[in-house]
Amino acid sequence: MEEIKTTEDRPLNFIEKIIEDDLANHRLPNDTIVTRFPPEPNGYLHIGHIKSICLNFGLAEKYHGRCHLRLDDTNPAKEDMEYINSIKEDIHWLGFDWGKHEYYASDYYDQLFEIAVRLIKEGKAYVDSLSAEEMKEYRGTLTEPGKNSPDRDRPIEENLRLFMEMKEGKYPEGAYTLRAKIDMASPNINMRDPALYRIKYATHPRTGDKWCIYPMYDFTHPISDAIENITHSICTLEFEDHRPAYDWATSIDGIEHTPHQYEFARLNINYLLMSKRKLLYLVNNNFVTGWDDPRMPTISGVRRRGYSPESMKDFVARVGVAKVEGVVDYSLMEFCVREDLNKRAERLMAVLDPLEIEIDNYPDGKVEYFTAENNVEDPNSGTHEIAFSKHLYIEREDFMEVPVKGYHRLYPGNEIRLKYAYYITAQSIEKDENGNIIKVHCTYDPESRGGDTPDKRKVKGTSHWVCRDICTVAEVRQYDKLFKSECPGAQTGNYLDDLNPDSLVVIPKVYIEKEAENAKVGSYFQFIRNGYYCVDSKDSKPGKMVFNRTCTLKDSWAKQKAKMGIK
């Protein structure tokens, strides 16, 4: 086997240490690690899954093994091909591929059924008629042992007959359950005769109506790992209590390979929810526009918002892999996004709140062009041309009729620099009938082109601008955090109470330099002084472009919280 070298500056995490020890001591078949990413296709993947995806696929890459994609499709009532397709798209977006190793729990239904029959024949499983409520009552508590079901000693022949009749569809849902016969007094509740099969009448997205009994997760998942020769079954800490059930299932007679389960801390981020159930409620009740709403913490949501896959992989790498649960600050994620986009985003000038500038001494009808760098951080990013004429737009906040102390932008009598272009001086203003400023008349210095003057004078203020008549007009969606509380619902018990009313502000007409007409989905942009943006992948189209704000240039949430009175 090729020698494994650790080139990262960071120390090995505990899973890497286990793997390197296993490889060094030749404990693995063919000295090859095999991991898997096993999502249930009952919703879209969220940011928390990125950590698991990067861990499982990343370990396989690092140690020259392989990672399987296995869809845990054991509950047809909640699963859909839409979810399966979205899961594949998300993993590919992150830059990982499973090659020919795409599997489904449903691939093993016949084998799982045969194993269940064998357990019945060996007296290790029985058909139970207890209802869900009764089963919960019989199970006991964390401090009190459970008690045996009245059906626990049902004869083997009767168990076999009932199980076959369950498979043939002779009983309604809930009438019977197949349970393992383990130990109702076990200190681990998951080992108190866990359910192996239940009756469910629902069309499966892959097997159709072939089955009306479906295996339970704690039975299916470990056996699927064993069938696929998984060496390191890596999951989050909430499955730690399920490890005895995992070990029990993989030790069933006839199962030749024994994988091992290792648990790590899941990714928890403040201001976000990672519950599929709660996210589904937001979607179904129109609090958001869908699973891919750019405010959603789904992978499809952050992709549509303009987060790059590189930034998300950097984020989970910085968080690391640990055994203890914790909460990561949202600002770290946005820091990683900014760090990455700063190096790749094309710079454009865009005016979100326009105020018209008329340069009185600039020739009517004249248009000239200035060269702008696409990205000052990337010398190979190239340049583009920006049109300039007599009529421009600047941001309304860049002009004050009566300036406050320390204000260095445009006001009557003051001279500023227009980025890339000329020095201008405000001379007079026009107002509407309500007293609102609608235009500022200026003069320009023709000898200041590009920001230099013969007398070498300097100005303190610089404003970005857009040519009024040669520009792109687009809708801009200003996205922010979906929740205004670090822990949604912590105070009132209802996470909906903490929805941020300003999580989306739509600006229907924003003026962007003409270069924006060439913007494509998947490209990244920095609107100078305004933030990072991307083309919306669903609603933007030629002639009606839509840009989504990915994030601000700085972490402005502290200031926003103060305005909203949030501590």
Active site residue 266: yes
196 vs 39: CA distance, rounded Å: 19
Contact 185, 146 (CB under 8 A): yes
In this prediction, residue 563 carries a pLDDT of 53
The Cα angle at residue 558 between residues 531 and 547, in degrees rounded to 5: 25
> 300: closest CA among 524, 85, 496?
85
pLDDT band at 7 (very low <50, low <70, confident <90, very high): very low
In this prediction, residue 76 carries a pLDDT of 93
In this prediction, residue 61 carries a pLDDT of 97
pLDDT band at 278 (very low <50, low <70, confident <90, very high): very high
DSSP structure class, residue 222: H
Residue 2 has pLDDT above 50, yes or no: no
Active site residue 514: no
88 vs 102: CA distance, rounded Å: 10
288 vs 500: CA distance, rounded Å: 12
pLDDT in tens, 501-550: 999 999 999 999 999 999 999 999 999 999 999 999 999 998 899 999 99
Q: Is 83 helix (H, G, I), strand (E, B) or coil?
A: helix
Average pLDDT, stretch 440-458?
A: 94
In this prediction, residue 503 carries a pLDDT of 97
Residue 555 has pLDDT above 80, yes or no: no
Average pLDDT, stretch 305-316?
A: 98
Contact 304, 294 (CB under 8 A): yes
Catalytic residue among 124, 266, 419, 561: 266
Higher pLDDT: 360 or 564? It is: 360
555 vs 77: CA distance, rounded Å: 42
Catalytic residue among 181, 276, 303, 417: 276
Active site residue 70: no
Q: What is the pTM of this model?
A: 0.91
Contact 166, 122 (CB under 8 A): no
In this prediction, residue 519 carries a pLDDT of 95
In this prediction, residue 562 carries a pLDDT of 54
In this prediction, residue 346 carries a pLDDT of 97
Residue 5 has pLDDT above 90, yes or no: no
pLDDT in tens, 29-41: 999 999 999 999 9
In this prediction, residue 30 carries a pLDDT of 93
> 514: closest CA among 396, 365, 380, 349?
349
Contact 110, 144 (CB under 8 A): no
pLDDT band at 336 (very low <50, low <70, confident <90, very high): very high
pLDDT in tens, 93-119: 999 999 999 999 999 999 999 999 999
pLDDT in tens, 158-213: 999 999 999 999 999 999 999 999 999 999 999 999 999 999 999 999 999 999 99
In the chain, % of residues over pLDDT 70:
96
Average pLDDT, stretch 427-450?
A: 96
pLDDT in tens, 18-72: 999 999 999 999 999 999 999 999 999 999 999 999 999 999 999 999 999 999 9
Among the residue ranges 10-14, 159-163, 336-340, 472-476, the one predicted with the least confidence is 10-14
In this prediction, residue 556 carries a pLDDT of 56
In this prediction, residue 560 carries a pLDDT of 52
List of long-range contacts for 481-487, beta carbons under 8 Å, 24+ apart: 481/271, 481/295, 481/330, 481/557, 482/271, 482/272, 482/288, 482/295, 482/296, 482/297, 483/271, 483/272, 483/273, 484/271, 484/561, 484/564, 484/566, 485/271, 485/566, 486/270, 486/271, 487/270
In this prediction, residue 567 carries a pLDDT of 43
In this prediction, residue 554 carries a pLDDT of 87
Catalytic residue among 40, 263, 334, 513: 40
In this prediction, residue 149 carries a pLDDT of 97
In this prediction, residue 173 carries a pLDDT of 97
In this prediction, residue 451 carries a pLDDT of 87
Contact 86, 43 (CB under 8 A): no
Q: What φ, ψ does residue 118 adopt, rounded to 5°?
A: -65, -40
Which residues have CB under 8 Å from 419's CB, separation 6+? Answer: 349, 462, 463, 464, 465, 528
What's the chain's average pLDDT?
94
In this prediction, residue 10 carries a pLDDT of 75
